[in-house]
Amino acid sequence: MSNAVSRIVVAACLLPVVLGAVYLGHWWLFALVTFAVVMSLHEYWLMARSLSPLALAGYVGAVLALVGAELSGIGWMLGGALVVLPLAFLLKAVSGARAAATAAISSTVMGTIWIGVGLGCLLLLRDLPAHGRLAVYTLLLAVWTGDTLAYLGGRMLGRHKMAPMTSPGKTWEGFVFGTAATVLVAFLALYKDRHDFLTVWQSIVLGVVLAVVAPLGDLFESLLKRDAGVKDSGTMLGGHGGMLDRLDAFFFAAPAAYFVILAFT
């Protein structure tokens, strides 16, 4: 199976699952997000294995963050995530591994916050009163569309590299295409509810923010993969690579969307 066909098949299989979980919300979405977080952390531990991250502490902190987000909101989500720090210290103290404590604990905490709290914000978005479902759908569609148009625009017209040492395939021309698509999708998705949710100018601001932070999330993961010397974080999603490769933009975009919407509502 070619890479392109593999990407289409995987997307066709996963899209109804993701959209359905968002529609149902609550523990259905929690289960899907938890699975995605655990798989993403597993790939991250493998990439960062030279730093000897303390995987158990990371899993516990990330899952507690998700439980906190689902049950009680942002305060308990952060409280759950912070458990990773003392737990990582404790595990390192009793561990026989000779890796540097600073590297091991720091890499563990970073992975937990980056992945666990990043996707935990999807749960916070979905739990927004009245418009949570719309907010998550807008985030997903805007980021997906922006990523696709950035890829196509870069392939057709890309001449100027955006970050040649980190991600050689990204171009400023592709970024312009992706930005236009992201802003347009956010505007169209929220236009019907402009009188009781986000106004037109607020939806445009949200689109601009997503257009900036989503590529940064992609570049951040590319930088980590460059350090690890790998092309993809894994093979779980066929032509899409690993779970991290598919979700990297959302680790930055979901928190950004949550706080922008929170500021406007």
Give the tens place of pLDDT for each residue, 225-251: 888 888 878 676 665 678 898 899 999
Q: CA angle 198-201-203, nearest 5°?
A: 45
**Structure confidence at residue 97 (pLDDT):** 66
| Residue 148 identity (one-letter amino acid) | T
**Structure confidence at residue 235 (pLDDT):** 72
Using DSSP's 3-state secondary structure scheme, residue 265 falls into: coil
Separation between Cα atoms, residue 35 and residue 247, nearest integer Å: 12
Instruction: List alpha helices for 158-199, DSSP H.
Output: 172-191
DSSP state of 49: G
Q: Is there a contact between 197 and 134 (Cβ–Cβ < 8 Å)?
A: yes
Q: Specify which residues 171 forms β-bridges with.
A: 161
**Structure confidence at residue 151 (pLDDT):** 84
CA distances to 28, 47, 147, 166, 247 from 231, in Å: 32, 11, 18, 11, 15
Separation between Cα atoms, residue 219 and residue 171, nearest integer Å: 12
Token match 């404590």: residue?
Answer: 101
206-232 per-position pLDDT tens digit: 999 999 999 999 999 989 988 888 887
Separation between Cα atoms, residue 239 and residue 177, nearest integer Å: 23
Assess whether pLDDT exceeds 70 at residue 186.
yes
| Residue 202 identity (one-letter amino acid) | Q
Separation between Cα atoms, residue 125 and residue 204, nearest integer Å: 18
pTM of the model: 0.91
Separation between Cα atoms, residue 158 and residue 28, nearest integer Å: 40
Q: Specify which residues 167 forms β-bridges with.
A: 163
